[in-house]
Amino acid sequence: MGGILGLAPLVLIFIAFYFLMIRPQQKRMKDLQNSVNAVKKGDQVVTGGGLVGKVTKVDENEVEVELAPNVKVRAIKATLTSVMPAGGAKPAND
């Protein structure tokens, strides 16, 4: 009986960590994965390196991102950290 009571605080701490840290992180990762898989031409994306641009072409594993007029780079979809749908809010200086 004493052994079970000794493990109870550890179990409670694990449950608290699961609901406060692990579960929300898994939800954020699932949402990001879904948005990366649904990326389409015209969406604005941020890459893992911090580059911001507009998607001009989408392949199965890669996207072509226009960083500036006539400056296009190819990026692996898995490196995208943020996807903002086309037609979203415009920057204040445009």
Parent domain of 49 = 3-84
Residue 88 is predicted with a pLDDT of 63
Q: Do 50 and 3 meet the contact criterion of CB atoms below 8 Å apart?
A: no
In a domain, 66, yes or no: yes
CA atoms within 13 A on the CB side of 46: 5
In the predicted structure, residue 94 carries a pLDDT above the cut 60: no
Residue 93 falls in which region: left (phi positive, over 0), alpha (psi -120 to 50) or beta: alpha
- Domain with residue 26: its CATH number is 2.30.30
In a domain, 51, yes or no: yes
In a domain, 90, yes or no: no
pTM attached to this predicted model? 0.70
| 9 alpha-carbon distance from chain centroid | 34
Q: Residue range 28-41: average pLDDT?
A: 93
What value does the mean pLDDT of the chain take? Answer: 89
